[in-house]
Structure 1
Amino acid sequence: MSRTTLDTPPATPAGVDVALSHGLKQRHLSMIALGGVIGAGLFVGSGAGIAAAGPSIVIAYAVSGLLVMLVMRMLGEMSAAHPSSGSFSAHAERAMGPWAGFTAGWSFWVLLCTAVGLEGIGAAKIVTGWLPGTPEWGWVALFMVVFCATNLAAVKNFGEFEFWFAALKVGAIGLFLVLGVLAVAGVLPGTDSPGTANLADFLPHGSEGLVVGLLASVFAYGGLETVTIAAAESENPVQGVARAVRTAMWRIALFYVGSMAVIVTLVPWDSKAVVEQGPYVAALDRLGIPGAGQLMNVVVLVALLSAMNANIYGSSRIAYSLVERGQGPKALGRVSAGVPRVAVLVSCVFGFVCVLLSYWRPDDVFPWLLNMIGAVILVVWIFIAVSQLRLRRAVERDTPERLAVRMWLFPGLTWVALACMAAIFVLMAREPGTRVQLYSTGGMTLLLAAAGYARQRLRAKG
């Protein structure tokens, strides 16, 4: 690998406007980092993990949380050294060549755009539960229009929406944790402490149940990458990334591991309500909180809308960065008033097409699309780890002052993280429920890698 590839950003194609604004303030970035770890997957998806793993879900979230912390540390090191709206895609290109940036970037773009549609469907289901008879697709279209307009206007609008969304999520889960700890301690009025009775059967389904819980927990952490994408448009990218990464450990421990511990202590793991109503609703019902179901529906709705907003933003910036580096159609890279508006529109349209496919082709095309994105986040994490291994030594040699964030115990922990990712792939291949996702994502990744490598060879010859 040449020094130029590692240390010099790729040239920008002619005709591409690169003037992204820097409209995100430090308070925006701080709250995006804080609230970005609280997704709808935590509130809803964790129920299936609890049903499979029982109280040992706490161990599953702790183990996967440690892996996520290592990934965030690696990504933070590279993003602080070279802030870029392309985040890991730009780092992969710098470390391994254009084919890697192409593969990581476009696979993540597909993931984010599809997630926009899925989150819109989830949010619409909640609203139609309150307003029966109204069309789900109409609500999805409304949410799409609102957040598309928000992201088209200015990056500070995205920042303001995420600031308040994150504040609501943090406030809700913070209140939940306080009430839960008081109830466990037996000092909450009107409730009796369950003690450790619900923890007695710690591994109800043995190691196989723990494996299912581990796989469920890994994919609940998706979305943490947004803060490194947003940092490139903040007032102080290096400081913002460094602060977000350094606080990642306590955020993951508190929000994920802490809330799982409270839930499995308060509610029997085999309670039907954990899956049917969601674990947080089940816990609030145990505490006798009136209207717990509707209260959590509001919180989940906020989490889904927050994720929609963040994924529209993230997908448009990833697409813009790819075009900036000559890895996509030039039209997607055009910037107006500091915003890549064509990229925002195309990302929203792709997301809405996914919604329409869920109605038009629910039995073939839509499941195929879901399977294709099932393991993308793991592919991205592998690109992050390999890129960090290659870039760290180059930065230490040439520009050591850029290492505002350093990976712990380099390179040992980076190799540990890669080994853990390989182990997760093996576990996915063993489980029938995740095997199809692994193979489908693998097929898409190989196809993109082949296309990216072919483009790289053609450009080298030209």
Structure 2
Amino acid sequence: MKTDEGYSHALGNRQVQMIAIGGAIGVGLFLGSGGRLQAAGPALVLSYAVAGLAAFFVMRALGELVLYKPTSGSFVEYAADFVGPWAAFASGWMYWINWAFTGIAELTAISIYVSLWAPQFPRWLTALVALAFVLAVNLLSVRLFGELEFWFAMLKVLAICAFLVTGLALVIFGLDLGGSTAGIGNLTAHGGFFPNGFPVVLMSLQSVIFAYASIELVGIAAGETRNPRQIMPRAINGVVWRIAIFYVGSVLLLAMVLPWTAYGPGQSPFVTVFAALGVPWAADAMNLIVITAAMSSCNSGLYSTGRILRAMAVKGEAPAVAGRLSSRHVPYGGIMITASVLLAGVVLYYFIPERAFNIATAVASLGVVTTWGTLVYCQIGLRRAALRGLLERPSFRMPGSPYTNWLTLGFLALVVLLMPFADADQRIAFFCIPLLVVAIAVGWRIVDPRRRAGKAASRHRAPGQG
């Protein structure tokens, strides 16, 4: 059975474009950038720029692969085609790790945002209610998911644009904000551009990579998209300028509007800016929008992992329940598996609320690095196959390949190698790597014989049987 069989192909251009935008704007920017600014200072913009360049090459590699074969299996299918079935198994489960822990981080962020209005309400209960909502949306239909994600993404874009316009005006006119003057001077005042040194900027790369996570979601949506070969290049190219404007531009403006010392990990930096404006409703409006941003990312995580797990279940590489489709063409089995882990994350947050977000984002970033590395390496395989005349390479190609591939892979390796030298939460994630390697290796040893037996049985099955 094909991994896309049974899907409704209900996503149109409008929804795919917004899914791509939604993937490029997440809680890593809306919440995580506050703590990172406090740690690294204005030089954080360099981390975003370098990681953004890597993200650009990843997206172009994905674009070439999607045009070669649009599929909801995304990089899992490409890993099987250009590396081997073991790589598909490993990358699929690492992507699931990424989104499972990203979902925990998003639920944690939602509870932090809501506590601004209801500080006495249990944060773990807020996370539980948010999980129940996005689970219901995903189980109903892909059309509902696409429509909700369209509006979630629209709110994100409006929020970022409102901040960019406001921040630019504050900087240009040098207006007073919260007792300080907005302007370029804030980039070098209060300790200089590198107030805590250059190594701290390097150590921030892991969390910045997490901020860019989910830009690859548009590739998974290809399997449920009408006319993917027309829609996908536009959606993927659009991510490039979004990275430049929404991420690098926003962080640069945040550092100029207020001194870097004004930000912290407990509040969205965008809320901090609008609260400093003194407009009573502005901070509340921004807080509502960042809640929808976190809901959007959690919503997308359930969507993507449901499709990836089904693609793996079809090949016998995930529990059989993950391959089940509902009457509404929704892979409810895979969605429920991910939801169960998110529920465990709510329990984690109950016990260690002050560290749950950072631990979850650090572990999730391992999945992001694996996913990005898989896409970039698979594009190398596609290029090699095309040079040997085994397939026709799409006209939409990764620029600078294969040199940019190896540079990107080197950068991703650097991000992982720096983790044990950063904070305690990143060290926890780094020392999880051997456990993940062993778990995946054991899983493959169990799955591979079954997979081979299933293939042998299908080859020997007489025509017309089954």
TM-score between the two structures when normalised by the length of structure 2: 0.87
Residue of 150, 153, 157 corresponding to 1:170 = 157
Residue of 300, 305, 312 corresponding to 1:322 = 312
Q: CA deviation at 1:190?
A: 9.2
Residue of 97, 101, 116 corresponding to 1:110 = 97
Q: How does 1:43-442 map to 2 (within 5 A)?
A: 43-131=30-118, 133-186=120-173, 194-200=182-188, 201-271=192-262, 273-336=263-326, 337-359=328-350, 372-395=363-386, 397-400=389-392, 403-433=394-424, 434-442=426-434
How many Å separate the matches in 2 of 1:251 and 1:320? 30
Q: CA deviation at 1:143?
A: 2.5
Extract unaligned runs of 5+ from structure 1: 1-10
Gap change, CA 1:352 and 1:436, over 3 Å in 2: closer
Mean CA deviation greater in 68-77 or 379-388: 379-388
CA displacement, residues 174-203 of structure 1 (integer Å, 9 cap, x when unaligned): 011011111111187999963332122111
Letter in 2 for 1:435: R
Gap change, CA 1:282 and 1:66, over 3 Å in 2: same
DSSP 3-state at the match of 1:398? coil
Mean CA deviation greater in 61-70 or 112-121: 112-121
Q: CA deviation at 1:124?
A: 3.3
DSSP 3-state at the match of 1:294? helix
Gap change, CA 1:188 and 1:30, over 3 Å in 2: farther
Gap change, CA 1:414 and 1:19, over 3 Å in 2: same
Mean CA deviation greater in 262-271 or 279-288: 279-288
Gap change, CA 1:278 and 1:116, over 3 Å in 2: closer
CA displacement, residues 369-388 of structure 1 (integer Å, 9 cap, x when unaligned): 77654522112222222222
Gap change, CA 1:363 and 1:56, over 3 Å in 2: closer
How many Å separate the matches in 2 of 1:260 and 1:357? 30
Mean CA deviation greater in 332-341 or 304-313: 332-341
Gap change, CA 1:237 and 1:324, over 3 Å in 2: farther
Letter in 2 for 1:430: F
2:435 corresponding residue in structure 1: 443
How many Å separate the matches in 2 of 1:364 and 1:257? 26
How many Å separate the matches in 1 of 2:244 and 2:126? 35
Gap change, CA 1:180 and 1:399, over 3 Å in 2: same
Conserved 8 A contact 2:113-2:267: no
Extract unaligned runs of 5+ from structure 2: 457-466
1:5 corresponding residue in structure 2: none
- Measured on the aligned residues, the alpha-carbon RMSD in Å equals 2.8
Q: CA deviation at 1:426?
A: 2.3
How many Å separate the matches in 1 of 2:157 and 2:380? 34
DSSP 3-state at the match of 2:204? helix
Letter in 1 for 2:315: R
Identity %: 35
Q: CA deviation at 1:129?
A: 4.2
How many Å separate the matches in 2 of 1:360 and 1:269? 31
How many Å separate the matches in 2 of 1:417 and 1:370? 21
Letter in 1 for 2:429: Q
DSSP 3-state at the match of 1:257? helix
Letter in 1 for 2:316: G
1:3 corresponding residue in structure 2: none
